[in-house]
Chains A and B, each alone.
Chain A
Amino acid sequence: MQKQKKNRCIMINGVSIYEILTLTSIMFFIGVYGFFTRKNLIAMLVSVELILNSAAVNFVIINKYMFPGKLGGDIFSIFIIAVAAAETALALAIIINLYRLIMSVKTKDLETMKY
């Protein structure tokens, strides 16, 4: 039992790095598509979340498949998550404040950030 656990390979069995990178690329460009098409500020933030998440998965996967003894990708994924949380909180604070001023969150109504 113990030996079996030791010999087990930690990478996902039968899944190569190419397939996971394909998945994250598709996710990234779905985010880009949403960023181009959406006209609502919160919906654009959702697309940014998708992009950031696919980048974080790339960090982790490349760390695991190519440099399994090191921790760089893991740690920087944690940093990406922290930065994303800070960015979301700040952006939502700005959006709510903007809604108080002009009663809209659509991009076409935003002509100036100065009040």
Chain B
Amino acid sequence: MERVFFYFIAVAIIVFAFMAVTNRNMMRSIIYLLFVLIGVSSIYFMIEYNFLGAVQLTVYAGGIIILYINSIMLIEKIGTPMEKVKTVRKVVAGIISVFGLALTLFAIYSYPFQTVKSGNVTTVSQIGQALLGYGNNGYVLPFEVISILLLAAMVGAIMIAKTEKK
């Protein structure tokens, strides 16, 4: 049952991702990206990383998609399609992508992954203690770095978007 569901999600993710990069209408392309992000969050839920799935849904599907839609509405007329891509460009990009995919799949399938079975469920309190822990298995240094990065991004966005009065 879970296997069938996983294959359904996988096919949906691939189809919607392809439509997101090929559709010529910008707004539709963003909505297809939204479907891909929801599919990825359902994979997180299937392996019971519930907190990560919730973060994916709220930050990506909730926040980033709304940012994209707002900026598209600010920039372009919604109905106008983008210009067509040249066939040569498509073919070259397709060949490069397929070659890279083949190389990656060859590397993946020739490496013996040693999987471990366990029934551990990651709880939110474990994640919180790991985020602020400074001992073994603690991640407080990247947490602080990411907080400074977010602050810098916020200040930078304000600086960039600010209009200068002349």
Q: In the bound complex, what is the Cα–Cα distance between A41 and B131 (angstroms)? A: 35
> How far, in Å, is A11 (CB) from chain B's closest CB?
7
Contact between B157 and A9 (Cβ–Cβ < 8 Å)? no
Q: In the bound complex, what is the Cα–Cα distance between A71 and B112 (angstroms)? A: 22
Cβ-neighbour of A42 out of B71, B85, B94, B108 (below 8 A): B71
Contact between B47 and A83 (Cβ–Cβ < 8 Å)? no
Cβ-neighbour of A33 out of B94, B127, B130, B150 (below 8 A): B94
| Size bracket of the A interface | 35 or more
Contact between B104 and A25 (Cβ–Cβ < 8 Å)? yes
Given A13-B2, A26-B14, A66 and B115 touching (CB < 8 A)? yes
Interface residues of A in 58-95 (CB under 8 A from B): 60-61, 64-72, 74-79, 81-90, 92-95
A22 contacts the other chain (Cβ, under 8 Å)? Answer: yes
Interface residues of B in 125-164 (CB under 8 A from A): 126-127, 130-131, 137, 139, 142, 146, 149-150, 153-154, 156-157, 160-161
Q: In the bound complex, what is the Cα–Cα distance between A10 and B153 (angstroms)? A: 37
Q: In the bound complex, what is the Cα–Cα distance between A29 and B74 (angstroms)? A: 30
Contact between B160 and A93 (Cβ–Cβ < 8 Å)? yes
Contact between A50 and B17 (Cβ–Cβ < 8 Å)? yes
Chain A residues contacting B63 (CB-CB under 8 Å) are 85
Contact between A37 and B17 (Cβ–Cβ < 8 Å)? no
Contact between B93 and A37 (Cβ–Cβ < 8 Å)? yes
Interface residues of A in 25-39 (CB under 8 A from B): 25-34, 36-39
Main secondary structure of the interface of B (DSSP, over half): helix
Cβ-neighbour of A66 out of B49, B60, B116, B120 (below 8 A): B116
Taking CB as reference atom, which chain A residue is nearest B83? A39
Chain B residues contacting A16 (CB-CB under 8 Å) are 115
Taking CB as reference atom, which chain A residue is nearest B44? A60
A7 contacts the other chain (Cβ, under 8 Å)? Answer: yes
Given A22-B105, A60-B47, A75-B131, A12 and B2 touching (CB < 8 A)? yes
Contact between B72 and A36 (Cβ–Cβ < 8 Å)? no
Q: In the bound complex, what is the Cα–Cα distance between A84 and B33 (angstroms)? A: 14
Chain B residues contacting A13 (CB-CB under 8 Å) are 1-3
Contact between A36 and B161 (Cβ–Cβ < 8 Å)? no
- With a 10 A CB-CB cut-off, give which of B97, B108, B150 has the most chain A CB atoms: B97
Contact between B21 and A15 (Cβ–Cβ < 8 Å)? no
Cβ-neighbour of B14 out of A23, A56, A94 (below 8 A): A23
Cβ-neighbour of B13 out of A23, A38, A49, A99 (below 8 A): A23
Q: In the bound complex, what is the Cα–Cα distance between A105 and B115 (angstroms)? A: 46
Sorted from nearest, which 9 A-B pairs have the closest CB atoms? A34-B21, A36-B93, A86-B153, A14-B3, A68-B118, A33-B97, A29-B97, A29-B101, A93-B160
